[in-house]
Every structure is written in C-alpha cells, then in structure tokens.
Amino acid sequence: MKNFMTRTLVLISLLLSGAIFGFFYAWVCSTMWGLDSIDPRIAIQAMQAMNGSVRNAVFAPAFFATPVFLGVTAWVLWRQHYRKSAACFALSGGLYLCFGLVLTMVVNVPMNEALAAIEVPSDIDAARRIWDDYSPRWQFWNQTRTVLSGVSFLIAVGGVMVFSPNHVKQAD
C-alpha cells in the first residue's frame, strides 16, 4: 500500500505540474501572439473574456493544488527515506509556489483585473495604447512563470529519475 500511495502521489504531482506548465506555455506560444495580431479592441475583449473564464473547476486543481501535491509528495518521500527524490519534489513545489502561483497572484491577476475594469474604447488608437501598455508587460511575467514552472516540472521529473525503491536508505 505504501508504494501504491507514494507512486500515486508522484504521478498526480507530475500531472498537475505538467498541466500548469502547459497552460502557461500555451499563452506564450499561441494565445498572446494571436491577440497581438488582431484589432486591439477585439484583443482587449478576448483577454477580458479569457481572464473571466479561467476561474473554474478545471483550472483550479492545476493552479492551486500543484504546490500542495508536490509538498505532500516530498514529505511522504522524505518519511520513506527517499531523500533525493524528496528534495527534488520539495524544491519543485517551492519553485512553483513562488514563481507560478504567487507571481500570478501578485502580478498577472492585478493586471488582468485592471484590464477587466476598462471599457473597451471604440477608437482603435486608444485601444492600441491600452493593449500596447498591457500585453508586453503581461507577456514578460507570463514567460517568467512559464520558464520557472517548466523548471519546476523538470525538477519533479528529476525526483522520479532518482527515485529507486532498491536504494532506500534504511532507517536506524
């Protein structure tokens, strides 16, 4: 049972880490480039709609539960004397917590809320000024959280690579 529980936690941690990295990555390589290429009035409306729709039960587990599962997985691995794996999962969880979840809440969410409060101007030049002020800054911070969430995911994968039931340090 212990191995089943541990492996399940490891798999859930990897699934959530990969899902949130993929979510952030999709914004980098398609969504924002697409929005930047269209009429800024439409881009603002679309971003307002997407930011409003992301608060849902499908997104929440990957966004909020990732550091929880990584931390619990690290704790379970530590208790079972898989020290290297535990350290990787703990580092992964801390990295995502700081540069995925907290960064998003401190930087991207306030930017999204400010954009949501704006009535989209009918004047294309006014809309372009709003979009040009928003998009590059938002993308910088999204790219930052994407890279660091990707590193977090890779560190968790590293925790799997050093996980070896045949090399468990025996407790004294």
Instruction: Tell me the mean pLDDT in the region 65-80.
Output: 97
C-alpha dist (Å) from residue 51 to 18, 36, 103, 126, 141 = 21, 16, 16, 21, 15
* Angle of CA points 12, 18, 58, to nearest 5°: 75
Compute the distance between CA of residue 74 and CA of residue 68 in angstroms, rounded to an integer: 10
In this prediction, residue 165 has a pLDDT band, given cuts at 50, 70 and 90, of low
In percent, the amount of the chain with pLDDT more than 90 equals 92
pLDDT digits (tens, 9 = 90+) for 86-145: 999 999 999 999 999 999 999 999 999 999 999 999 999 999 999 999 999 999 999 999
Taking the domains of the chain in order of start, what are their residue ranges?
A: 18-164
**pTM of the predicted structure, to 2 decimals:** 0.91
